[in-house]
Amino acid sequence: MLGELRKRTAKSGVVLPLEVMLVPTLLRASIRQLDAGRFVGELGLYAAAVREAITTYREWKVEEQWNFAAKKLVPVTDWSVGTPASVVKGAVLAFGLSAVTAGRGDALAAVRQEVAVVPGLNAALAQTFQLIDEPAEQHDDAEGLIASLIGRFMQGDIINATDAFVSSVRVVQFLENSFLASAVAAPVMAFYDRLWPDILRHRRFSMRGPDTNGPIILEAMRKGATAFERMVNMALASEAASRQRLSDGVRQQLATTAARLAGKRQDNP
């Protein structure tokens, strides 16, 4: 697709905003297919696209201001610091969430093998992979929380009501501003679609008020036009069943996100 875009815009000049919008679509496709080779092969271009989006986004708000120049995205090759390092970690975590919740730990292992032969990339991701291998509960950053969560998913350690609630909140926070959210939310939500009925059948003792809260959670999980919207609604509904509470700020953030998504659905029925 990217090659075809460049071919069609060869005479008028590359439309950089179109390239930047297209590249995340390619990475989302590789995540949906759990194609490790394609995913790692596109990380450099994806990091370049996100960096470009961050630095020039305001210039794209008006189509007439788009830059029709002989400029195209150049894949990142230095993964050591700054935006590329953060972007590639987020992308790998997104792939990891999709893989392990789909029961495809082998796909994440394949990503690690592909990463190992890319100069500099293995070093940039070493700590992330270590946290997946050795999950810890306490972290100072979102990347550490998600890496450890992936490890716990792999170990089959997300099993009770509080696990389901806390993990879903963390995944929602991670995906909320991600270019890759739509690809990741579907397999993750499919995991919760299996987990909550299993909790209600076999681990009701882990819930507060299972007779009341169970049906509310299941209903919330059906509410929404997308997997991500369903996940947000589920996270909000499952707090009452959990033995852990959200801060007022996080609860308000989730409620705001749920309202925004519902409003978007009503505007585009």
Q: So what's the pLDDT on residue 49?
A: 84
Q: Summarize pLDDT for 86-138 with one digit per residue, the tens.
A: 899 999 999 999 999 999 999 999 999 999 999 899 999 999 999 999 998 77
- pLDDT of residue 48 exceeding 90: no
**pLDDT score of 264:** 75
Q: Is 121 exposed, middle or buried (0-12, 13-18, 19+ CB in 10 A)?
A: buried
Do 234 and 168 contact (CB within 8 A), yes or no? yes
Q: Which pLDDT band holds residue 139 (cuts at 50, 70, 90)?
A: confident
pTM of the model: 0.88
Query: What is the chain's length?
Result: 269
What pLDDT does residue 9 have?
A: 45
**pLDDT band at 146, cuts 50/70/90?**
very high
Q: For the segment 153-186, what is each residue's pLDDT rounded down to a tens digit?
A: 999 999 999 999 999 999 999 999 899 999 999 9
Dihedral sign (CA 103, 228, 235, 250):
positive
Residues 6+ positions from 82 with CB-CB distance below 8 Å:
none
Tokens matching residue 245: 């509470």
CA 239/CA 258 separation, integer angstroms: 15
